[in-house]
Amino acid sequence: METIDCRGLACPKPVILTKKKLESIKGEDAIVTTIVDNKVAKQNIIKLGESMGCTYSIEEKDGLFYVTLNRKSPSVNNQNKENGLVIFIGTDKLGSGDDELGAALMKSYMFALSESDQLPKTILFVNGGVKLTTEGSQVLDSINKLVSRGVEVLSCGTCLDFYNLKEKLKAGDITNMYAIVEKMNNATNTIKL
- Rounded CA separation 25/4 (Å): 14
Nearest to 123 by CA among 111, 110, 136, 134: 110
In total, the chain counts a number of residues equal to 193
Instruction: Tell me the mean pLDDT in the region 75-97.
Output: 74
pLDDT exceeds cutoff 70 at 79: no
Instruction: Tell me the mean pLDDT in the region 160-178.
Output: 95
- Rounded CA separation 136/56 (Å): 35
- 92, β-bridge pairs: none
Task: List, in order, residues 6 or more apart from 20 with CB less than 8 Å away.
Answer: none
- Rounded CA separation 57/67 (Å): 6
Nearest to 40 by CA among 188, 138, 159: 159
What pLDDT is recorded for position 73?
55
What pLDDT is recorded for position 173?
95
* Averaged pLDDT score across all residues of the chain: 89
What is the identity of the amino acid at 90? G
What is the identity of the amino acid at 6? C
Q: Lowest mean pLDDT of 77-86, 94-103, 135-144, 151-160, name the range.
A: 77-86
Q: Which residue has the higher pLDDT, 65 or 118?
A: 65
Q: Which residue has the higher pLDDT, 164 or 78?
A: 164
What pLDDT is recorded for position 76?
41
CB neighbourhood size of 52 (10 A): 17
Task: Give 134's pLDDT tier (boundaries 50, 70, 90).
Answer: very high
**∠ at Cα 156 (191, 166), nearest 5°?**
140
Task: Give 125's pLDDT tier (boundaries 50, 70, 90).
Answer: very high
pLDDT exceeds cutoff 60 at 127: yes
Spell out the alpha helix ranges (H) of 149-191: 157-162, 177-186
CA-CA-CA-CA torsion for 169, 82, 14, 177, nearest 10 degrees?
-50
pTM here? 0.69
What pLDDT is recorded for position 5?
96
Instruction: Tell me the mean pLDDT in the region 4-18.
Output: 90
- Rounded CA separation 32/68 (Å): 6
pLDDT exceeds cutoff 60 at 1: yes
41-78 tens-digit pLDDT: 999 899 888 888 888 999 999 999 999 999 875 444 44
Instruction: Tell me the mean pLDDT in the region 148-168.
Output: 95
pLDDT exceeds cutoff 60 at 120: yes
